[in-house]
Structure formats: structure tokens, C-alpha cells
């Protein structure tokens, strides 16, 4: 789910809806905590940092 939320946050950034960007980034960070594989977690957290 973290990757899906990250994609939504990025889409809302492009659309200019900063409120939704922050909402979906929050969801993504929360979902990232549930990722077991550290490599996958690192990828999503690095992607989130670029938004």
C-alpha cells in the first residue's frame, strides 16, 4: 500500500492539491512501517523524500 499512497501523493502534487499530497504522504509513511523487507521500505521512503 505504501507504494500506491506514494503514487497518489505524487499525482496530487502534479495536480497542485497540497492538502491531498500531505494526506497521502502520511498514509504512505504509515504503510511503510508495515513493510518487512528493508530494501523495499528504503525504496518507498526515498521516493517519498522526492515529493
**For 16-48, what is each residue's pLDDT tens digit?**
999 999 999 999 999 999 999 999 999 999 999
CA 22 to chain centre: 9
The confidence score (pLDDT) of residue 8 equals: 98
The confidence score (pLDDT) of residue 23 equals: 98
The confidence score (pLDDT) of residue 45 equals: 97
Alpha-carbon torsion (25, 44, 7, 33), positive or negative: negative
Domain ranges of the chain: 2-49
Amino acid at each position: 500500500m505504501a507504494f500506491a499512497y506514494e503514487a497518489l501523493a505524487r499525482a496530487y502534487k502534479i495536480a497542485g492539491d497540497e492538502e491531498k499530497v500531505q494526506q497521502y504522504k502520511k498514509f504512505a509513511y504509515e504503510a511503510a512501517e508495515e513493510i518487512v523487507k528493508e530494501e523495499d521500505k528504503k525504496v518507498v521512503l526515498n521516493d517519498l523524500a522526492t515529493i
